[in-house]
Amino acid sequence: MDGVVQKKPSFKSKQNAEVVLSLPKAQNTELAPAPEIGLDIIYQDSYLAVINKPPGITVHPGIGTTSNTLVHALLAHFPELPDDAGSDRPGIVHRLDRDTRGLLLIAKTSESHRRLAALFQNRKIRKIYHALVWGNPGPARRLAGYIRRHPKERRLMQFSPVATENSRQASLFMKPLKTKEPVTLIEIELETGRTHQIRATFAALGCPVTGDTLYGDMDKLCRRFKIGKARRAALEVQGLCLQASQLEFDHPFTGDNMKFTLPIPESWYPEKIFL
C-alpha distance across the termini of the chain, in Å: 66
The rounded distance, in Å, linking the Cα atoms of 111 and 189 is 27
Model confidence at 34, pLDDT cuts 50, 70, 90, reads: confident
For 194-239, the pLDDT digits (tens) are: 999 999 999 999 999 999 999 999 999 999 999 999 999 999 999 9
Query: What rounded mean pLDDT belongs to the chain?
Result: 90
Task: Average the pLDDT over 37-47 and give the result.
Answer: 94
Q: What CA dihedral angle connects 81, 82, 83 and 85, to 10 degrees? A: -110
Asked whether residue 24 carries a pLDDT value surpassing 60, the answer given is: no
Q: Are residues 103 and 146 in the same domain?
A: no
Q: Are residues 219 and 105 in the same domain?
A: no
Strand-pair partners of 260: 247
What pTM does this model have?
0.86
Rg (CA), the chain: 22
156 part of a folded domain: yes
DSSP state of 209: B
φ, ψ of residue 159 to 5 degrees: the values are -105, 135
**What was the pLDDT predicted at 29?**
46
Q: Are residues 225 and 146 in the same domain?
A: yes
The rounded distance, in Å, linking the Cα atoms of 178 and 186 is 7
Q: Is residue 177 within 8 Å of residue 188, measured between CB atoms? A: no
Share of the chain above pLDDT 70, in %: 88
Q: Are residues 51 and 138 in the same domain?
A: no
Strand pairing class (242-250; 101-107): parallel
Q: Is residue 41 within 8 Å of residue 77, measured between CB atoms? A: yes
272 part of a folded domain: yes
13 part of a folded domain: no
Number of structural domains the chain divides into = 2
Angle formed at CA 233 by CA 229 and CA 239, multiple of 5 degrees: 150
Asked whether residue 6 carries a pLDDT value surpassing 80, the answer given is: no
Owning domain of residue 133: 127-247+259-275
Q: Are residues 168 and 264 in the same domain?
A: yes
**What was the pLDDT predicted at 52?**
97
Tell me which residues are annotated as active site.
97
